[in-house]
Amino acid sequence: KQEVTQIPAALSVPEGENLVLNCSFTDSAIYNLQWFRQDPGKGLTSLLLIQSSQREQTSGRLNASLDKSSGRSTLYIAASQPGDSATYLCAVKRGGGYSTLTFGKGTMLLVSP
């Protein structure tokens, strides 16, 4: 059974810092990996999706990497801002099509002004 772990569970940083969130998964036979953002009381919004054949994806100040063989992914946030405060979840997809996602428990990020 696939298990996804996110470290740390919570992180507090001052504005302007660069930071890294970690995600690990036990079964390397994945189709893709996604990073989601969840604001308090809201649903999930997809940030970045990395296919199993890719090594990284970038969107603005966000960069996600994937090392499938070691079962690890990182989300790098550059020059953090208070608006980045949210919970970040990673999820792995087992196969293509309608195949389901397995989620980590998330990292709660607080960026202080």
Task: Give the pairing of strands 101-103 and 72-77.
Answer: unpaired
User: Phi and psi for 84 in degrees, rounded to 5?
Assistant: -80, -10
Member of 80, 104, 107, 109 binding other proteins (CB under 8 A): 104
Find out whether 75 and 84 touch, Cβ atoms under 8 Å. Answer: no
What's the closest the beta carbon of residue 101 comes to other proteins, in angstroms? 6
Retrieve residue 17's tokens.
Answer: 């810092």
Member of 23, 25, 34, 80 binding other proteins (CB under 8 A): 34
- Per-residue x/- mask for other proteins, residues 36 to 75, rule CB under 8 A? -----xxxxxx--x-x------------------------
Among residues 24, 22, 34, 46, which one has the least CA distance to residue 99?
34
Member of 106, 107, 109, 111 binding other proteins (CB under 8 A): 106
Find out whether 66 and 50 touch, Cβ atoms under 8 Å. Answer: yes
Residues that bind other proteins (CB under 8 A): 32, 34, 41-46, 49, 51, 89, 91, 93, 96-98, 100-101, 103-106
